[in-house]
Structure 1
Amino acid sequence: MPKLKCKVDQCAYNKTGLCAKNYIDVDGPEASSKKETSCKSYLFKDVETSYDYEFATMDSNPSLQTEVYCDATQCVYEKGQRCYADRIEISNVDETTAKDYKKSQKPSVTECKTFEPRD
């Protein structure tokens, strides 16, 4: 499993840079660049989602090792819809904050910084 670093501060699953979800889904079946990828597991952190999430995961601990399912078939690290990079980083797109997209879960909110196109 890749070591996952999450830099999306507005995601409910982000706990001090680690993902508290058991797995994430990276989207981008037509992606040819990082900006065309996204984390489908992103959940905007607001009062309602934070409360529901905290209650549902009281006993779970965020982990550096997270299963990563990947639809970015043009990435060198994707094989059989799994990510095989040693490390993966999910970030906000450029300077955009997820807050601007409250609950919309638009693909442009996050991106996989680890994406590398196949030759």
Structure 2
Amino acid sequence: MADLRCAVENCGYNEQQLCCKGDICVGGQKACDCEGTCCESFTQRREGMDSFKSSVTHPSKTISIDCEAVKCVYNSNYKCHADHVDIKGCGACDCKGTVCATFSEKQV
């Protein structure tokens, strides 16, 4: 479980930079830098609609993260093992507008 800070303000799961989903998936199987990653769990917040907080009663600071970015140093068996993860994506309208800013490429 990682300490997650989500700066994607227009995600339906985001509440005060915490995630209400319970777990997320970071995509980017071929990523060599953070720009090649994305939060595949992103869902755009809709005007006038509540966020998806019902998935988890309260937003959570720690979260389980499945990770497809196999070149990241924090990826072990498709799970993120970073102590802290930052998800960014100012103005994102889909998951491709988000990134895992914590991504760090494994040195070979």
Does 1:82 pair with 2:79?
A: yes
Q: Percent identity?
A: 31
Q: Which amino acid aligns with 1:117?
A: E
Q: Which amino acid aligns with 2:58?
A: N
* Structure 2 counterparts to residues 64-83 of structure 1, below 5 A: 64-83=61-80
Show structure 1 runs of 5+ residues with no match. Answer: none
* Structure 2 counterparts to residues 6-85 of structure 1, below 5 A: 6-47=6-47, 50-51=49-50, 53=52, 57=54, 60-85=57-82
Q: Which amino acid aligns with 1:112?
A: C
In structure 2, what is the equivalent of residue 113 of structure 1? 101
Distance 1:52 1:33 in 2: 30
| 1:20-52 C-alpha deviation (Å, 9 max, x unpaired) | 01100000000001000000000000136x337
User: Displacement, 1:97?
Assistant: 1.3
Distance 2:32 2:51 in 1: 36
Q: Which amino acid aligns with 1:76?
A: V
Distance 2:58 2:25 in 1: 19
| Equivalent residues, number | 107
TM-score, normalising length from structure 2? Answer: 0.91
User: Displacement, 1:106?
Assistant: 4.6
Where in structure 1 do 4 or more consecutive aligned residues deviate above 4 Å? none
Structure of larger gyration radius: 1
Question: CA 1:67 to 1:106, structure 2 compared with 1: closer, same or farther past 3 Å?
Answer: closer
What is the aligned-residue RMSD (CA, Å)? Answer: 1.7
